[in-house]
Structure 1
Amino acid sequence: MMKAKLFLIMQCGTPSQDNSMAFRAEMSIWASPNIENSQESGASIQIYCQDGGHYNLIQAGFHISPSLYHNRDIHFFTYCTKDLRSKGCYNSQCGGFVPASGAKLVPGQAIAPASIYDVQDHYIRLSVNKDPYSGDWVVYRHDLETPSFLGHFPRGLCPETPRIQALTGFVNYLKNARGPPMGSGHFPDCDEKKSAYFNHIKNYDVNGQAVDPFLSGMVKLVDKKNCYDANDLFLIFKKGFTFNYGGPGGCIG
């Protein structure tokens, strides 16, 4: 299985240097109706933290994954692994993410509507941050009238201060096959009706308060630039800190 990811990565220092505790962002929602069964395309907030001699990952976002859901709808998902070398599990496949009672969005739930290219964009605003009291990693939805608590990852999945946290677009596909579209299926464009985006990006401090990100601590990584790309993080009126990403399907690499 081939993977292509692009990251806006923050917080690569040592735990003693870290004062931020994950992200909040508006994540644009794009469909991919022609995606193949062996492919996956999505976007997420990812938290990596050191646990002994390896790294754990917790993740929340949106994806299209026909092999997982047996359809081509867009789904909210959660994912975790206790070791990056192991497969990990989605949604309720294991005892990782704990959904909140009456949550407005639950892992595996299909969401609509999708954005329409050059017509209308749609988004959901998510956050993942460490609760300063329990130490659990809590997930909220923020684009409703009031913030909705969706659930949490137990603190044991990420016991130390995260070493890396990232906003990422990603695709997965078979080796030597053509990759699926990422985002809107177009390369980055500052027009949010044409390009996938993360808008209004915020960090959380150790007290659980949302703060602007520190640009000096953020790094962009694109591992298959000939197929997919992202522009730099920038500050823009009415969008806050933002960046666009994506690329068309059909690229082999």
Structure 2
Amino acid sequence: MASMRMLVFVTMLFCLFKVGFTGAPPGIKFSTSNSGSIIKIRAGYYSKAILWHGVKARFGIWDINDVDPLSSSGVYLAATNQSPGLEMIAAGFHVNPSLYHDNKLHFFTYWTTRNDYSTGCYNTLCPGFVIQPGEDLFPGVTIDPPYSSYGVRELDLTIQIKKDEKTGDWSLYKQYRTGERILPKTLFKSLASHAETIEWTGFVSHDRKERSPSMGSAHHARELNYKAASIED
């Protein structure tokens, strides 16, 4: 489990990227990629170690209301390995009209075991996450209001991905409850043992012909508490 204290304002990271910030110190991650006509931008924080067995974050929950049909915007935490190939488990919140056919905020999970993302899926669209009885926050569910309010309050939810030291399976925790969703270790090779990298990331994607949606609260990090979106360990 990550034990360090950190606070990342993803809107600030996004703005630094947009003005061409280079030479980022260790831990800060910026990336942009193209997939056909889709532009993807990510900004966040990562930590590498020999062994990670979990990652946790408290996410500020904001309503993102400017996402076009071919765009998406959200935030996630992830446990990953890059060797011998990409293996990743992720969970977070996003608006993704092409996936849900609406413009609502959803809780999501994602996993893959291939660099080309040809394995795995979002939520429960393929075998993977095993939903436990009595769930109230399951993969793909809509996050209904109230949301954070600019200048007034930031509402949040805590998400944790943790490896069970006895079974080796990965569990997903919401708030302070016990493990609720299980991702069997048999799905993975390197992640069956541990994760090499954990990350907290904000992201947007959009068609070249569309404007980019907002990231986080759509306000700069310099505005600080209750105004800029935050991710806190």
Q: Same fold (TM over 0.5)?
A: yes
Relative CO higher for 1 or 2, CA cutoff 8 Å, sep ≥ 6? Answer: 2
**2:147 paired with 1:114:** yes
Equivalent residue in structure 2 for 1:10, among 34, 42, 47: 47
Cα distance 1:188–1:135, how it changes in 2: closer, same or farther (>3 A)? same
Q: Indicate the residue corresponding to 1:196 in structure 2.
A: 229
- Do the aligned partners of 2:64 and 2:214 also contact (CA within 8 Å) in 1? yes
Provide Cα deviations, 1:56-96, integer angstroms capped at 9, x if missing partner: 11111110111111111111100111213125411111112
Q: Indicate the residue corresponding to 1:67 in structure 2.
A: 98
**2:130 paired with 1:93:** no
Q: Indicate the residue corresponding to 1:222 in structure 2.
A: none
Between the aligned partners of 2:194 and 2:178, the Cα distance in structure 1 is 25
- Structure (1 or 2) with the greater strand fraction: 1
* Bigger mean CA offset, 156-165 vs 94-103: 156-165
Q: Tell me the C-alpha RMSD between the 2 structures.
A: 1.8
Q: Indicate the residue corresponding to 1:239 in structure 2.
A: none
Q: Indicate the residue corresponding to 1:152 in structure 2.
A: 182
Give 1:150 deviation, angstroms. Answer: 2.7
Q: Indicate the residue corresponding to 1:183 in structure 2.
A: 216
* Bigger mean CA offset, 92-101 vs 186-195: 186-195
Q: Indicate the residue corresponding to 1:131 in structure 2.
A: 164
Q: Give the match's secondary structure for 1:134.
A: coil
Give 1:122 deviation, angstroms. Answer: 0.9
Q: Give the match's secondary structure for 1:111.
A: coil
Provide Cα deviations, 1:119-142, integer angstroms capped at 9, x if missing partner: 221110110111111111111112
TM-score by length of structure 2 reads: 0.76
Length, aligned pairs only: 191
Q: Indicate the residue corresponding to 2:35 in structure 1.
A: none
Between the aligned partners of 2:193 and 2:136, the Cα distance in structure 1 is 29
The sequence identity of aligned pairs, in percent, is: 31
Give 1:149 deviation, angstroms. Answer: 3.0
Q: Which amino acid is the alignment partner of residue 28 of structure 1?
A: G
Equivalent residue in structure 2 for 1:83, among 114, 134, 137: 114
- Do the aligned partners of 2:42 and 2:202 also contact (CA within 8 Å) in 1? yes
Between the aligned partners of 1:122 and 1:35, the Cα distance in structure 2 is 21
Give 1:42 deviation, angstroms. Answer: 0.6
Deviant stretches of 4+, over 6 Å: none
Q: Give the match's secondary structure for 1:196.
A: coil
Q: Indicate the residue corresponding to 1:221 in structure 2.
A: none
Q: Give the match's secondary structure for 1:110.
A: coil
Give 1:22 deviation, angstroms. Answer: 2.3
Q: Indicate the residue corresponding to 2:58 in structure 1.
A: 26
